[in-house]
């Protein structure tokens, strides 16, 4: 389990909300922030490289957090194959839900 990954997730989410990045940049930051939160609940041996989402890793993290794996798989796949119909607000809401679950799991205030 990793509080360091949650701190990285915090940084991505701060970037997403900053308004300084392009819409696409903000959207990517949301996805990265959510994915890092998923990775944070796994032991290092259970993770893939942060920049390369793995369906197996996403499923394992979602199972641990008792959250919808289908939505998380859809979101993490979006990072490399963006669906223009998905809004920034959808990505932000997903990332915040994942982060809240991960923080609760890791007992972070």
- Give the CATH number for residue 51: 1.20.120
Q: What is the mean pLDDT of residues 24-46?
A: 91
Give the pLDDT score at 49. Answer: 64
Contact 41, 67 (CB under 8 A): no
Q: How many CA atoms lie within 13 A of 39 on its CB side?
A: 23
Tens digit of pLDDT for each residue in 53-106? 789 999 999 999 999 999 999 888 877 776 656 788 888 999 999 999 999 999
- What average pLDDT does the chain have? 88
Domain count, the chain: 1
Cα distance between residue 50 and residue 99, in whole Å: 16
Give the pLDDT score at 1. Answer: 64
Whole-model pTM?
0.89
Residues of the domain holding 44:
3-106
Q: 102: how many CB neighbours lie within 10 A of its CB? A: 26
Give the pLDDT score at 78. Answer: 79
């Amino acid at each position: 389990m990793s509080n360091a990954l949650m701190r990285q997730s915090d940084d991505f989410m701060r970037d997403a909300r900053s308004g300084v990045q392009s819409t696409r940049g903000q959207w990517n930051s949301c996805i990265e922030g959510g994915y890092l939160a998923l990775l944070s609940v796994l032991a290092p041996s259970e993770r893939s490289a942060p920049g390369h989402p793995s369906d197996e890793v996403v499923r394992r993290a979602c199972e641990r957090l008792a959250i919808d794996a289908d939505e998380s798989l859809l979101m993490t796949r979006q990072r490399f194959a963006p669906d223009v119909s998905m809004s920034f607000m959808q990505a932000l809401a997903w990332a915040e839900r994942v982060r809240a679950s991960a923080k609760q799991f890791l007992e972070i205030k």
